Amino acid sequence: MTTTAVKIALIAIAPLLLPAATVEFNRDIRPILSDKCFTCHGPDPANRKTTLRFDMEAGARRAIVPGDPLKSEIVRRITAEDKAVRMPPAYAGHDRLSEREIDLIRNWIEQGAKWEKHWSFLPPKRSASPEVRDSGWARNPIDRFILSRLEREGLKPSPEADKTTLIRRVTLDLTGLPPTPREVDAFLDDGSGNAYEKVIDRLLASPRYAERMAIRWLEAARYADTNGYQTDGVRDMWRWRDWVIDAFHRNMPFDQFTVEQIAGDLLPNATLDQKIATAFHRNHRTSGEGGIVPEEFRVEYVSERVDTTATVWLGLTMGCARCHDHKYDPIRQKDFYRMFAFFNNVPEKGLVYNFGNEEPAIKAPTPEHSHRLAELDHTTARAEQRWKALQPRLEKTQRKWERSLAKARAIEWSVPDGLVLHRRFKDDDSGFDGRRYVEAGAEANFNYMEPFTLAAWIKPAAKDGAIVTRMEDYFEGEGYGLFLLDGKVRLHITRRFTDIGLRVETESAVKLNEWQHVLAVYDGYRYASGVKIYVDGQEQKLKVLFDDLNFPLGPKEPVRIGGGGGEKLRFKGAINDVRIHEIALTPEQAWTVPLSGPVNEIAALAPEARTHAQAARLRLCFLDRFASKNIREAQKQLFEARKERTKYFELIPTVMVMQEMPEPRPTFLLRRGAYDSPGERVTSGVPEFLPQLPEGSNRLGLARWLVDRANPLTARVIVNRFWQMYFGTGLVKTVEDFGSQGEWPLHRDLLDWLAMEFMDSGWNVKAMQKTIVTSATYRQSSKVTPEGFERDPENRLLARGPRIRLSAEMIRDQALAASGLLVEEMGGPPVKPYQPPGLWQELAGGKGYAVDKGEGLYRRSLYTYWKRTIAPPAMTTFDSPNRETCAVLEVRTNTPLQALNLMNDVAYLEASRKLAERMLRDGGKTPEARIGHGWRLVLGRNPKPRETELLAEALEQFLEYYERDREAAGKFLAQGDSPRNKKLDARELAAYSGVASLILNLDEAVTKE
């Protein structure tokens, strides 16, 4: 860019910025003071060098004499030639204020130096729609606000866009997809006065509308399928994504939409859906990086919730107040931590699980899941009933069998289920002397998510020793092991001793020099709560020593009896009858393991004389070997039914949600924002300059406060983002910042009108979209005249309709739709469409990205699997936010990488081929007609003769080439998984595919105009 160009542009833009006759503090003065003075003379006391401050009237009186600029110190300072006197000082990185800025300040003081509270902190007011000369143009109040400004600027609105342009524009805007030729025709043929409105109603009712609305919300909510930090493990949050789509589809009022996402869990009798909604604030990035200080990251998560809430609902940059008072807005550091307190009571971990959802998480069945689960419950209940009905018979036959045992031969029985290792030593070989251990093979290679049971008879001669292990042979080694330590029975499952593993021990010690039976059960769900230890068949009270097993093990060592855990832990005493099961034994099973001797002996006892263990053994033995087929069958069915139910239940997705701890965590102001530097204790609350909440309010209170009519920000911030969706730029361009560094709204009256309208309609989201897209403002043609462009290059005044590049997901979805590939299915787990191979491996190793087969390739882009650290390139190339943090500002660039993507990505080549098939099949007989058909499928309109002519030339050249090289045609058509229409001539299809690709690459194709 040359300097000349810069100058030209500055001149071109200048008219927008000319000061109005009357200086307005909020519009004209505050932005200068904020940007240039507040750093040292603003809200943050730490930076204030003197008592002089310009963020409030009282603090500035010393430097400002209303009505008299010459006596005002501020004017002397900003105009001073002497650098030592001049403000702002060079050391603060500022140049001298511009003449324009100086004039504004002078005029303002001359006019009485009137102060105002920052505009967005005052409640919105519904002003009367302004008078306009061309009142016939306006279709709704939006237009009167826009037109009145245009008339003031001496500009005229553009004529309405033609009908095909309009239907493509509004269909893309409301559904993210292009209109079909049939939809275009229906609109063109509909001469009724409300034809356009009918289109709007049809679009708003479409599920595609909900998907289109959802994606911007997902970006704001930093939704993704992985955790984000370091190894970027997987998570499952799609049930929340589907909740969002459903909410937009049902047109959930925005206040309810807000309350449920912020605090649905705290609503009385919260439904499953309301709990799922709270996943909003579990969408932030989390770290599973080994070795982090968990509290450091937990604080990060909570802070992130404050930032995101402030950006999404309040348009405030609260994050600036995390380490110090805000430099520009009246947000004290304390206010940040008062907001922090609302989100600080989640029973969550700083170091998270890398292979799935971290707690708190809930099962989030879809209706289909619930239905299937109910069926399985029913089957289980029936099996239980049948089992119960058989009990008398079971009792009877068992008693009969027991009686028969008196004369029968001796029956030995022990639990056979899942037994993978059983080692019995001869009595003279069961001694362990503190040096000996026995290697017992490579069985029992359990990982951290697999259940197991370890059991043995021991006669310890010392308080410490390894009983049975499968781990590296030192105390902190990787693997699992059952030990005696200080006489207590201990189970270790260790990945890395210092921070990844699980360790529990019995509260009481075993006896020395006596035979006792020890048995440990682990349920395979990676928590200490899933461990049980029995001594002599009695379940023991346990002490949890460490409970953070979140990573697979890699033990390559054999099973060792009496060893493992290092030389100091070789067993002293005797060990015998070692058993390892690859299941978690039930308590009944576990009780029986220490018992030996023929079951006949138990049968000989009177039933009331038997211990519960003996009774269990007798019953289990009978069921295992002697019960009638009928009974065993019924038991098997019951087990199978339960197993199937469990299996299905485990497949049901979970979602991470918000929960409150019974006792809230105390919240402290953190000095410099550091987790380990607590200052004063604070209670929950909102910044003082906003309407206040009752003391002691919780998250639900905050949620309701966000959408309280008294809150001046939320409605404005939300309608401003809606506006941005249609016009590319918000009425306040800084959609993320409504504070004093944000942009003064170009149409404050209109913004307020929209905000009031939104609230008065009961926060009706669909109605608000309809109001915007039915306005004459929206319906204008987007053609630009040179004068119009020079006058308003960014189209902020809206003397023409919006003409902006489609967003990333729209570009891809349009290609899928126009080519007929799009699979219109709502919701479900994320899908993995095409992505160049190797992208994941080169950064993170592993198996990489497995491209889907079939439908997963053709779903709308909002369902694409989103790995945060390696985001889908076809999305980020087109400026899609990376989902690392909350993103609300729409950004559009124009780069060569985008051109390469659209021309050469297999997704677009396949879409071109399928579009070409449609052109050949449905487009008619002539090349012109076929070109016209493809053109209409993408652009909605018919091509102009010159356009058809140019494409026909290209077609001719491609045809000529593929006539010469038939093999090339085959190669070109081999893009993508979808089968090619073999009825079509390969050469012709290849040539048409080239043309179809051309159409998809047109500027108009990637632009909403």
Partner 1 sequence: MTRRYFFGRSAAGIGTAALASLLGKDLSAAEGLPGLPHFTPKARRIIYLFQSGGPSQMELFDYKPRLTEFAGTELPDSVRKGQRLTGMSATQSTFPVVPARVEFARYGESGAWVSELMPHTAKIVDDLAFVKSMHTEAINHDPAVTFLQTGAQIAGRPSIGSWLVYGLGAETTQLPGFVVMISPGAGGGGQPLYDRLWGSGFLPTRYQGVKFRSVGDPVLYLSDPPGFPRENRRRYLDVLAKLNRLKLEEFGDPEIATRIAQYEMAFRMQSSVPELTDLSKEPEHVFEMYGEDARKPGTFAANCLLARRLAERGVRFIQLFHRDWDHHGKLPEGLPKRCKETDQPAAALVRDLKQRGMLDDTLVVWGGEFGRTVYCQGRLTADDYGRDHHPRCFTMWMAGGGVQPGVSYGATDDYCYNIVKDPVHVHDLQATLLHCLGIDHTKLTYKYQGRHFRLTDVHGSVVKKILV
What is the C-alpha to C-alpha distance for residues 977 and 834, in angstroms, rounded to an integer?
A: 10
Query: Tokens in use for 120?
Result: 């967005």
Q: Does 408 bind partner 1 (CB under 8 A)?
A: no
Shortest distance in whole angstroms from residue 895 CB to partner 1 = 5
Selected from 334, 463, 496, 619, the binder of partner 1 by CB under 8 A is: 496
Q: Does 760 bind partner 1 (CB under 8 A)?
A: no
Selected from 79, 873, 924, 942, the binder of partner 1 by CB under 8 A is: 873
DSSP state of 864: B
Q: Does 154 bind partner 1 (CB under 8 A)?
A: no
Stretch that binds partner 1, among 155-163, 210-218, 240-248, 496-504 (CB under 8 A): 496-504
DSSP 632-694: HHHHHHHHHHHHHHHHHHHHS-EEE-----SSPPPEEEEGGG-TT-EEEEE-----TTSPPPP
Q: What are phi and psi of 535, to 5 degrees?
A: -120, 125
Size of the site for partner 1 (CB under 8 A): 123
Shortest distance in whole angstroms from residue 18 CB to partner 1 = 12
What is the C-alpha to C-alpha distance for residues 732 and 742, in angstroms, rounded to an integer?
A: 8
Q: Which neighbouring-strand residues pair with 439?
A: 560
3-state secondary structure of 294: helix
Type of residue found at 152: R
Please identify, using beta-carbon distances, which residue of 412 and 953 lies nearer to partner 1.
953
Q: Does 328 bind partner 1 (CB under 8 A)?
A: yes
CB 822 within 8 A of CB 894: no
Stretch that binds partner 1, among 228-236, 335-343, 386-394, 605-613 (CB under 8 A): 228-236
Shortest distance in whole angstroms from residue 670 CB to partner 1 = 14
Selected from 160, 202, 961, 984, the binder of partner 1 by CB under 8 A is: 961
Type of residue found at 554: G
Q: Does 6 bind partner 1 (CB under 8 A)?
A: yes
Q: Does 994 bind partner 1 (CB under 8 A)?
A: yes
Selected from 273, 476, 539, 824, the binder of partner 1 by CB under 8 A is: 476
Site for partner 1 in 28-57 (CB under 8 A): 34
Selected from 618, 941, 998, 1008, the binder of partner 1 by CB under 8 A is: 998
Selected from 54, 121, 229, 591, the binder of partner 1 by CB under 8 A is: 229
Stretch that binds partner 1, among 80-88, 528-536, 584-592, 831-839 (CB under 8 A): 831-839
Q: Could you give the C-alpha distances from 430 to 293, 459, 511, 596, in angstroms and in order?
A: 46, 10, 18, 17
Selected from 161, 973, 989, 996, the binder of partner 1 by CB under 8 A is: 973
Please identify, using beta-carbon distances, which residue of 80 and 974 lies nearer to partner 1.
974
Please identify, using beta-carbon distances, which residue of 283 and 997 lies nearer to partner 1.
997
Site for partner 1 in 441-470 (CB under 8 A): none
Query: Tokens in use for 468?
Result: 């049975």
What sections of 558-628 are H helices per DSSP? 587-592, 599-604, 612-621
What is the C-alpha to C-alpha distance for residues 671 and 653, in angstroms, rounded to an integer?
A: 40
Q: Does 614 bind partner 1 (CB under 8 A)?
A: no
Question: Per-residue contact track with partner 1, 376 to 405, x per CB under 8 A?
Answer: ------------------------------
CB 194 within 8 A of CB 813: no
Shortest distance in whole angstroms from residue 740 CB to partner 1 = 7
Q: Does 739 bind partner 1 (CB under 8 A)?
A: yes
Please identify, using beta-carbon distances, which residue of 14 and 188 lies nearer to partner 1.
14
Q: Does 805 bind partner 1 (CB under 8 A)?
A: yes
Nearest alpha-carbon partner for 770 in 183, 167, 204, 257:
204
CB 890 within 8 A of CB 807: yes
Nearest alpha-carbon partner for 810 in 1009, 997, 1007:
1007
CB 562 within 8 A of CB 439: no
Selected from 65, 102, 826, 950, the binder of partner 1 by CB under 8 A is: 950
Selected from 344, 550, 711, 741, the binder of partner 1 by CB under 8 A is: 741
Please identify, using beta-carbon distances, which residue of 193 and 786 lies nearer to partner 1.
786
Please identify, using beta-carbon distances, which residue of 753 and 778 lies nearer to partner 1.
778
What is the C-alpha to C-alpha distance for residues 536 and 518, in angstroms, rounded to an integer?
A: 6
Q: Does 895 bind partner 1 (CB under 8 A)?
A: yes
Q: Which neighbouring-strand residues pair with 432?
A: 573
3-state secondary structure of 378: helix
3-state secondary structure of 750: helix
Q: Could you give the C-alpha distances from 540 to 485, 519, 521, 522, in angstroms and in order?
A: 15, 10, 12, 14
DSSP 841-863: HHHH-SS------GGGGSS-GGG
Stretch that binds partner 1, among 479-487, 746-754, 851-859, 996-1004 (CB under 8 A): 996-1004
Shortest distance in whole angstroms from residue 1008 CB to partner 1 = 12
Shortest distance in whole angstroms from residue 702 CB to partner 1 = 22
Selected from 730, 975, 988, 992, the binder of partner 1 by CB under 8 A is: 975
Site for partner 1 in 76-105 (CB under 8 A): 93
Stretch that binds partner 1, among 434-442, 491-499, 507-515, 757-765 (CB under 8 A): 491-499
Shortest distance in whole angstroms from residue 47 CB to partner 1 = 10
Question: Per-residue contact track with partner 1, 304 to 323, x per CB under 8 A?
Answer: -------------x-xx---
Q: Which neighbouring-strand residues pair with 540?
A: none
Type of residue found at 551: F
CB 379 within 8 A of CB 641: yes
CB 31 within 8 A of CB 328: no
Q: Does 327 bind partner 1 (CB under 8 A)?
A: yes
What is the C-alpha to C-alpha distance for residues 270 and 264, in angstroms, rounded to an integer?
A: 6
Site for partner 1 in 348-377 (CB under 8 A): 351
Is residue 1004 exposed (0-12), middle (13-18) or buried (19+ Cβ within 10 Å)? middle
Shortest distance in whole angstroms from residue 173 CB to partner 1 = 18
Please identify, using beta-carbon distances, which residue of 52 and 784 lies nearer to partner 1.
784
What is the C-alpha to C-alpha distance for residues 575 and 572, in angstroms, rounded to an integer?
A: 9
In the numeric block, the tokens 């807000």 are attached to 258
Shortest distance in whole angstroms from residue 853 CB to partner 1 = 20
Q: Does 882 bind partner 1 (CB under 8 A)?
A: yes
3-state secondary structure of 696: coil
Please identify, using beta-carbon distances, which residue of 5 and 128 lies nearer to partner 1.
5
Question: Per-residue contact track with partner 1, 170 to 209, x per CB under 8 A?
Answer: ----------------------------------------
DSSP state of 226: B
